[in-house]
Amino acid sequence: MNLKLTKSLLSTTANQLKSKVQLPEEKLFDLPEKVLQFGTGVLLRGLCDYFIDKANKQGVFNGRVVVVKSTDKGGADEFNEQDGLYTHCVRGLENGKLVEETIINASISRTLSARTQWEEILACAKSPDMQVVISNTTEVGISLLENDKITSTPPQSFPVKLLAFLYERWKHFEGSADSGMVIVPTELIIGNGDKLKEIVLEQAKRNALEAEFIDWLHTANSFCNSLVDRIVPGKPENATEILAKLGYEDDLVVMSEVYRLWAIQGDERVRKVLSFAQADEGVIIERDIEIYRELKLRLLNGTHTLTCGMAYLLGFKYVKDVMSNAYLSRIITNLMLGELSLAIPYKVDSKVADRFGRMVLDRFRNPYINHKLLDITVQYTTKMRMRNVPILLQYYREFGRAPELFAMGFAAFLQFMHADKYVNGVYYGECNGAHYPITCNYAGYFYDAWMNFDLKKVLANTSLWGEDLTKLEGFEEAVAKYL
């Protein structure tokens, strides 16, 4: 039986492993703990901890991560049994070329359970080395919970756990300005740093904490909005084969695509503390990160939304297979770079948009990622309204006519939403003799609409689109042609 990945294993098998995997040097295990991380999920390990590990190996950041496991499900044993080590398989395309990297990540020093080791977590607040808090507690994690007390062991919600940690730190360092932290939530909420700060401040008042502490929260700590973008599916499908070649067991192995982005809104102080940004161009620290959100939302998400229904109805199941079809790949490329990138409702340099778009196309072609088209259709109508209608309106402002491929994608969306049966609370459409679920809050509306379909009536429905799309000259005709 293979041995489990641990520090001990590395010390005895380094010579055999160094040709197969990127190994950490032993000195990295002695680096101080600088980061408190709320969450153990694959996104944090495949993106944030990836950057920290890479920087440490370059001698840049020189700090390790204490992970807080906040949920009751399971314990911290699987991490601690492996000394925080895990294998990270990076697979995909970059500039059209296949990339395969296998890395042993040594950024995590230890993992603590909030439920059973809360005092040890609070003790971290007393370390002068601690500088950074990062989190990914799902979108629900950043919410205001009634009657959540910092005196509980532990508090229930992530914001009050953070509040308790910061309060302990303020007391220990007697409110010194330089003891403040840089706090970077990565939850998928617009303005996640602002939202977290707002809740932490509100909970500080509800817990009747000192005015001096609340002032310190405001002035000494940086709550940074951030945007993360990397596909990290988790355990590779061929994990058994990969680990067999490496000759060890790893319960924490993760795979990610090559592309990575962590855009953080911050000033020079934030840039200085988050020095790991120097190690990889995927970490961007700027005062305004909205451009990165717009590029992702309009070019990556928007293209997916306009093409997933069409590709599914044509018999495809995965994004990578669609991109292997020469005709559809050309349609998607022309839609993204010839229509969507020209009408982003935010001032973006055309070269920046084109470069970003071509990276997105590489991501779509990644042969290692099984991204299901049907998954992209979840809440299809809302995604179309939020991601694509603003582009449609901007396109009309710029060019005064219907974008042809956009109209094709929109018609395919309407056809995908054509349910022909309703069973046990689920609407189903039919494609090539098989039924598929329509997972959308507006499935019932379209089920009724298709009983006696009136395209003008659907396009004029402002509750669906926020706008009357029949007022866009030529759009109704363009959609009708493809429908």
State pLDDT tens for residues 330-344.
999 999 999 999 999
Confidence of residue 1 (pLDDT cuts 50, 70, 90): very low
The arithmetic mean of pLDDT across residues 14-30, rounded, is 93
Checking if the pLDDT of 125 tops 50, the result is yes
The reported pLDDT for the residue numbered 146 is 94
Phi, psi for residue 28 in degrees, rounded to 5: -65, -25
Q: How far is residue 74 from each of residues 112, 160, 188, 230, 396, measured CA to CA in Å?
A: 12, 22, 24, 26, 53
Checking if the pLDDT of 93 tops 60, the result is yes
State pLDDT tens for residues 163-193.
999 999 999 999 999 999 999 999 989 999 9
For residue 114, give both structure tokens: 């909030």
State pLDDT tens for residues 379-391.
999 999 999 999 9
Checking if the pLDDT of 76 tops 80, the result is no
Mean pLDDT of all residues belonging to the chain: 95
Residue 433 neighbours by CB under 8 Å, 6+ apart: none
Please list the helix, strand and coil fractions of the chain in percent, rounded to the nearest 5, in that order: 50, 20, 35
The reported pLDDT for the residue numbered 96 is 87
For residue 470, give both structure tokens: 């029949």
The arithmetic mean of pLDDT across residues 189-215, rounded, is 97
Checking if the pLDDT of 75 tops 70, the result is no
Q: Are 30 and 127 in contact (CB under 8 A)?
A: no
Coil, strand, or helix at residue 385? Answer: helix
The reported pLDDT for the residue numbered 215 is 98
Alpha helix positions (H), 18-116: 42-43, 49-57, 77-80
% pLDDT > 90, the chain? 93
The reported pLDDT for the residue numbered 140 is 79
Checking if the pLDDT of 246 tops 50, the result is yes
Checking if the pLDDT of 252 tops 70, the result is yes
> Where is average pLDDT lowest: 28-37, 117-126, 232-241?
232-241
Residue with tokens 């509750």, as numbered in its chain: 463
Q: Are 288 and 347 in contact (CB under 8 A)?
A: no
State pLDDT tens for residues 345-366.
999 999 999 999 999 999 999 9
The reported pLDDT for the residue numbered 163 is 98
Q: What homologous superfamily does CATH list for 290-482?
A: N-(1-d-carboxylethyl)-l-norvaline Dehydrogenase; domain 2 (1.10.1040.10)
Alpha-carbon span 371 to 161, nearest angstrom: 35
Residue 192 neighbours by CB under 8 Å, 6+ apart: 142, 185, 186, 225, 226
Query: Residue length, the chain?
Result: 483
- Tell me how far apart the 2 most distant CA atoms of the chain are, in Å: 72
State pLDDT tens for residues 303-331.
999 999 999 999 999 999 999 999 999 99
Alpha-carbon span 100 to 104, nearest angstrom: 14
The reported pLDDT for the residue numbered 71 is 67
- Which residues make up the CATH 1.10.1040.10 domain(s) of the chain? 290-482
- Which residues make up the CATH 3.40.50.720 domain(s) of the chain? 3-286
For residue 330, give both structure tokens: 């050309």
For residue 374, give both structure tokens: 């049907």
Question: For residue 35, what is the enclosing H or E element?
Answer: strand 33-38
Confidence of residue 138 (pLDDT cuts 50, 70, 90): confident
Q: What CATH class is the domain 3-286?
A: alpha beta
For residue 173, give both structure tokens: 């360092």
The arithmetic mean of pLDDT across residues 438-467, rounded, is 97
Alpha-carbon span 67 to 83, nearest angstrom: 12
Confidence of residue 254 (pLDDT cuts 50, 70, 90): very high
Triad 319, 325, 327: Cα angle to 5°? 115
Alpha-carbon span 296 to 309, nearest angstrom: 19
Q: Are 228 and 262 in contact (CB under 8 A)?
A: yes
